[in-house]
Structure 1
């Protein structure tokens, strides 16, 4: 059984005893990017220009002209290209014509200067974006300077203009392609921020109904119960404050409501119809990067995933995918090739021994859409959700085949609830449950997850062993209210 802890702050992540799996809220894992010092490699350079008209016998003394200390490597090109004084004094009557003054200036600026390299800086997420922006701006300035030099020297070839694209040509993305699916899905995916004092947590969500209902993970908005403000950012950039209609930690789902209408909802597909190998897209705002799309396949089905704190753990009969899911993807949709939502991204796995989620390693988990549909309908109608139980306490210390019912009371609670589903079916303390509906179980969490995937009132068939005797037992699940 894989255990998860929510990313949503302020709760720090907890490591399981087996394999660490973490829910995908960014606040517990995303480091704040440190300011990045971008050093300009250009040193002040001495540019030789005649101070006085030169003669053959007495050459003029060179005058030192310093370039600005913070100029980038592209800026000296602009500076030298715009110095007409140097151009006027560089050629004396009767002397052979010299090369263009910009060429002199550029050569003088670099003559004898050692090549310098700026030290490599540690770059965080925001640092990367800042450096990229600076690089683009520098490239624009450098390009403009070089263009000016060529114009002034009349060196620009007549055929320098490159072909331009046909503005009337439209690329056709075939139906079912990743680009076509993304274009249909992205307008209905939102970014969610829970504002807590000077900080906050971020996650993702999907439009559930046209009149303002939005589905996300419970752990994304858990802090809203303490009065935190929830803000939803839509695909077109506008924001709306949202209220929590209902939430359940048992299924890690929550429904929000914004005062808007005319929204375009996504369709919740049939998660029972998917198979291992189906293509999927994960859509959301990982690490605060809105409208991010990643692709992969369904890697496995019915993964027993336990997410959250022990007191409020969510037991998920999860869809496993290798589509990249990172902190901040929580609550966003996992979409099939038809553009239908077949899961709600909720958790990622991390290698054993990792104390905090560091990002996708190709093991992500989503709540099946059929479960999400049933729970969301309950949350909208009543603000609460129910889940099914069989009415037994399981022995976590048991190491044998199957899962054993506790042999004695725990904190005053009987191992088999009197008049509960298991009691009525003849299950007794100490019995071992080997399978549910033909699917073997070897851990307590596996049995709980398999039961939670059902609905109250559903019948299940349990393979039960009492001593050396094995038998199939039909149990009708009862209802318990979440929270």
Structure 2
């Protein structure tokens, strides 16, 4: 079952002069390069959306129907300027080293308060902490006397840029995580983290040094579960969005955030799988994610935090966790967490900062989620007044008709409607994809140019 842990594309051209998210001057390349790394799966292709309100068995909280392994239920934890192109990264961490991954989840204020009461009074005073031989304190944000590339150094470098987010509204208090996207005050998080702000709720961001600032929601999209916040601050230290297309299974990662209200928490793990089709959220606000799967511990409150690699770059935004069958709310990590790829986050964040809105690509068809044969079938009838194939839409112009079966996208087989949808959502409007289509017993390849649709 898919649940939200908290309450909760390709990268820019390096030659672009107007790249919104410019990173600091890149250091010399690390010794280990990605040369020779296993080839990743081809980028997912864009497919048509499920009809609005359609009872999709792959929706959050339900088992996926159709062929292939079912996707477990996920919990989604719940914004920023243009991101800079990533620099080349070493593929592996040195001995004992892992990259950072952060998932921010919204947790009720009650739980956070209880944790604070249980740990705050008995916490040893900072003065009682041992000081290393070199005399450098190891507090959050302080210099750390550890080798470059070590988990401790990666954590120390990332923590000052990771924030805790609290949203107070009519339904109580929810908390999550986020990170600095630009030096001029833009912060990226999950949409579900700030969902409570839509009803007049107040959003407060807390930095690693304890400073609190009220934040404005610049833009948000439920379709990608991303949101950009803005605080009145200058000179912040942003994290660099890396190239998630370079990630391979087995890469070390770190998750940084505020799980269960415990800020500045770091957990480690590896990338467990790629291109995992995940649906998270409620039926009305389902997000389709072509997710990076990790075994780094992700818990409620981690939503919106960064998933960091061995070079200290963000490769994903943690947004969902798997839950055992029968669970109706996020109960904690079971080693199956899911992150939105950084390339998707980069593109969406740029749109949200520039216009407050985001778009996603479609091919203009409704999919039959009850179909149990090979591939994914275009619906044979209209749904809620919407035609199975949108007239003059991308699929219609390419000759796709009601009842046709889509077998693959750009050579990548699809067997469930959610696989097709996330493959399409991983692209951009205007991209062309090749669909393998079967109609009347004959198969053919069809070139479809994706069309933009405004996100919710």
Relative to the length of structure 1, the TM-score reads: 0.71
Q: How does 1:29-40 map to 2 (within 5 A)?
A: 32=111
Pairing partner for 1:348 from 311, 321, 324: 321
Pairing partner for 1:290 from 255, 263, 269: 263
SS in 1 for 2:302: coil
Pairing partner for 1:382 from 355, 360, 381: 355
Q: CA deviation at 1:438?
A: 1.2
Aligned Cα root-mean-square deviation (Å): 2.4
C-alpha distance in structure 2 between counterparts of 1:379 and 1:299, whole Å: 30
Map of 1:448 onto structure 2: 421
Pairing partner for 1:394 from 367, 373, 377: 367
Q: How does 1:68-217 map to 2 (within 5 A)?
A: 125-126=115-116, 128-129=118-119, 132-133=122-123, 166=133, 172-197=145-170, 199-217=172-190
Contact 1:6 1:219 in 2 (8 A): no
Give CA deviations for 1:47-75 in whole Å, capped at 9, x if unaligned.
Answer: xxxxxxxxxxxxxxxxxxxxxxxxxxxxx
Report whether the alignment pairs 1:24 with 2:77. yes
Give CA deviations for 1:359-416 in whole Å, capped at 9, x if unaligned.
Answer: 0000000000000000000000000000000000000110111100001111221111
C-alpha distance in structure 2 between counterparts of 1:269 and 1:339, whole Å: 9
C-alpha distance in structure 1 between counterparts of 2:133 and 2:284, whole Å: 61
Contact 2:61 2:73 in 1 (8 A): yes
Aligned residues: 363
* Structure 2 unpaired stretches of 5+: 9-58, 65-71, 79-104, 138-143
Q: How does 1:231-242 map to 2 (within 5 A)?
A: 231-242=204-215
Find the structure with the greater CA-based Rg.
1
Map of 1:311 onto structure 2: 284
Pairing partner for 1:15 from 29, 48, 61: 61
Q: CA deviation at 1:3?
A: 3.9
Q: CA deviation at 1:353?
A: 1.1
Map of 2:312 onto structure 1: 339
Map of 2:39 onto structure 1: none
SS in 2 for 1:183: helix
Q: CA deviation at 1:178?
A: 0.4
Map of 2:231 onto structure 1: 258
C-alpha distance in structure 2 between counterparts of 1:27 and 1:262, whole Å: 27
SS in 1 for 2:224: coil
Q: Which structure carries more helix by proportion?
A: 1
Are residues 359 and 431 of structure 1, via their aligned partners in 2, closer, same or farther at CA, if it must alter by over 3 Å? same
Relative contact order: is structure 1 or structure 2 higher (C-alpha 8 Å, sep ≥ 6)?
Answer: 2
Q: CA deviation at 1:15?
A: 3.1
Report whether the alignment pairs 1:321 with 2:320. no
Are residues 193 and 169 of structure 1, via their aligned partners in 2, closer, same or farther at CA, if it must alter by over 3 Å? closer
Q: CA deviation at 1:236?
A: 0.7
SS in 2 for 1:328: coil
C-alpha distance in structure 2 between counterparts of 1:27 and 1:333, whole Å: 15
Q: CA deviation at 1:246?
A: 0.3
* Structure 1 unpaired stretches of 5+: 35-123, 141-163
C-alpha distance in structure 2 between counterparts of 1:211 and 1:166, whole Å: 37
Give CA deviations for 1:402-443 in whole Å, capped at 9, x if unaligned.
Answer: 100001111221111111110111111000001111111111
Q: CA deviation at 1:23?
A: 1.3
